[in-house]
Amino acid sequence: MTTPPILEKQVLTYVDLDIDILVLPDFSYDILDADEFEANAGRYAYGEEIKLRSEESVDKLTAMIASREFPFDA
């Protein structure tokens, strides 16, 4: 999961927020690296908005997987 990319002085940057979701062919999934996200949230002082938006994004993606919405509609 990343923050939206920013183009500044011809350099594209983004922040990887550590959380990944592994989706298997049967549409089961595992949320990976949530512990790493929590550790880095403390280490890098992620704000409450970042933490909330990350949680909302995970919830949205897992709902999309469960309902087989694009891009999980194969």
Q: What is the pLDDT of residue 2?
A: 53
Residue 23 has pLDDT above 60, yes or no: yes
Residue 43 is which amino acid?
A: R
6 within some domain: no
Give me the domain span that covers residue 42: 17-67
12 within some domain: no
Contacts of 66 (CB under 8 A, 6+ apart): 27
φ, ψ for residue 29, nearest 5 deg: -150, 160
Q: How confident is the model at residue 17 (pLDDT cuts 50, 70, 90)?
A: confident
Q: What is the pLDDT of residue 69?
A: 93
Q: How confident is the model at residue 24 (pLDDT cuts 50, 70, 90)?
A: very high
29 within some domain: yes
Q: Residues 50, 10: contact at Cβ < 8 Å?
A: no
5 within some domain: no
DSSP-derived secondary structure letter, 5 = P
41 within some domain: yes
Number of domains in the chain: 1
Neighbours of 54 (CB within 10 A): 19
